[in-house]
């Protein structure tokens, strides 16, 4: 029986034209969305209908939700922090980090808050986090300016620990029971959530009054001014942008959607990498653009191989 060759990750003709353009490109943008981290095992909670337990995830990501039920919002974000800390950057994160090291005028704009791009060694000066990070925390009191970055404590307070099932009948000691404890999936509505009191939640160490909140940008809040200014300065620095890669995002929400058109207005060709061809969007692709359908973790390293070579050891900086 004749063997069949494996289907290439990227159509050869498209791969050739993309690599040739990338080789000649000097000013490059990358725009990242939740699909970038899907191969790392993180849920995307995409759009309306993205549920966490019985709650629409988008409805938990608001100042109003936090004011109404800070315990529930913290349980949602503590779950996301825990999941992201236990995930690993995937080859797409590492490939983009390598490209950033090799291309002086390359800037990545990420809508992700999971911290995987920094952990893959992406140079911080070439990575702009539009929506902040799960590992930043700040005081919720209006008159308090406390803000902390890179808080990787998991759980951030004991009351937010992921509950476990310690009912293994084969254990004989408390130590063995803890070792064999199985974390429960609190995204499943059938799993009971621990009841929280206000005093159980993380408190501000500065004002001693406010509850700390995740330092992400919630719906209805402004994006970070310093980040937006840096991006605007980069875009305005030259009349020409050669390429924008749109990875794992439908880019239908502004300002992210606007960056594609800004880049195109400066001559950029657009390359979309996405699992869903519908995310190309009406009028988003021109004849000279590319759409690569599939898993970013497979496609991005293949696209960039001509510039970065084969990926070597992929070290998670959190393990260092």
Q: Residue ranges for the binding site for Zn(2+)?
A: 139, 144, 204, 207
d(CA 29, CA 320): 29
d(CA 78, CA 214): 9
Please say whether the beta carbons of 146 and 158 come within 8 A: no
122 included as an active-site residue: no
d(CA 150, CA 54): 30
Binding residues: 139, 144, 204, 207
Tokens representing residue 245 in the block: 């890669």
Q: What are 109's strand-pairing partners?
A: 31, 128
Least Cα distance to 31 among 124, 104, 127 occurs for 127
**Catalytic residue among 82, 93, 122, 131, which?**
131
Q: Could you give the angle at which helices 256-265 and 225-236 cross, rounded to 10 degrees?
A: 10
**Which secondary structure element, helix H or strand E, spans residue 147, and what is its range?**
strand 147-148
User: How many CB atoms lie under 10 A from the CB of residue 229?
Assistant: 10
- CA dist 301 → 125, 205, 268, 304 (Å): 21, 43, 21, 5
Question: How deeply is 257 buried, as exposed, middle or buried, from its count of CB atoms within 10 A (0-12, 13-18, 19+)?
Answer: middle
Tokens representing residue 47 in the block: 């759009």
Least Cα distance to 274 among 292, 290, 253 occurs for 292
User: What DSSP character marks residue 9?
Assistant: S
- Radius of gyration for the chain, computed over Cα atoms and rounded to the nearest angstrom: 22
Among all residues, which ones are annotated catalytic?
131
């Amino acid at each position: 029986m004749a063997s069949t060759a494996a289907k290439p990750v990227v159509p050869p003709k498209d791969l050739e034209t993309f690599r040739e353009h990338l080789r000649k490109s000097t000013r490059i943008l990358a725009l990242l969305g939740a699909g970038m981290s899907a191969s790392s095992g993180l849920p995307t909670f995409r759009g309306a209908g993205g549920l966490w337990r019985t709650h629409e995830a988008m409805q938990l990501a608001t100042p109003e939700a936090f004011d109404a039920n800070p315990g529930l919002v913290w349980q949602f974000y503590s779950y996301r922090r825990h999941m992201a800390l236990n995930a690993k950057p995937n080859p797409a994160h590492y490939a983009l980090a390598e490209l950033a090291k090799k291309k002086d005028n390359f800037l990545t704009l990420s809508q992700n808050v999971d911290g995987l791009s920094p952990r893959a060694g992406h140079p911080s000066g070439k990575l702009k986090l539009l929506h902040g990070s799960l590992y930043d925390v700040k005081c919720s009191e209006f008159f308090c300016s406390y803000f902390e970055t890179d808080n990787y404590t998991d759980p951030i307070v004991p009351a937010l620990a992921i509950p476990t099932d310690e009912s293994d009948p084969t254990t004989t000691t408390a130590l063995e029971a803890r070792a064999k404890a199985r974390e429960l999936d609190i995204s499943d509505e059938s799993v009971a959530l621990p009841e929280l009191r206000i005093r159980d939640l993380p408190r501000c160490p500065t004002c001693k009054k406010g509850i700390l909140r995740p330092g992400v940008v919630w719906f209805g809040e402004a994006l970070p001014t310093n980040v937006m200014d840096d991006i605007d300065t980069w875009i305005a620095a030259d009349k020409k942008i050669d390429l924008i890669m749109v990875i794992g995002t439908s880019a239908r929400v502004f300002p992210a959607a606007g960056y594609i058109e800004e880049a195109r207005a400066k001559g950029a060709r657009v390359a979309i990498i996405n699992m869903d061809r519908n995310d190309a969007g009406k009028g988003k692709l021109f004849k000279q653009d590319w759409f690569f359908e599939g898993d970013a973790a497979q496609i991005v390293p293949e696209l960039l191989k001509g510039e970065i070579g084969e990926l070597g050891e992929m070290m998670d900086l959190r393990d260092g």
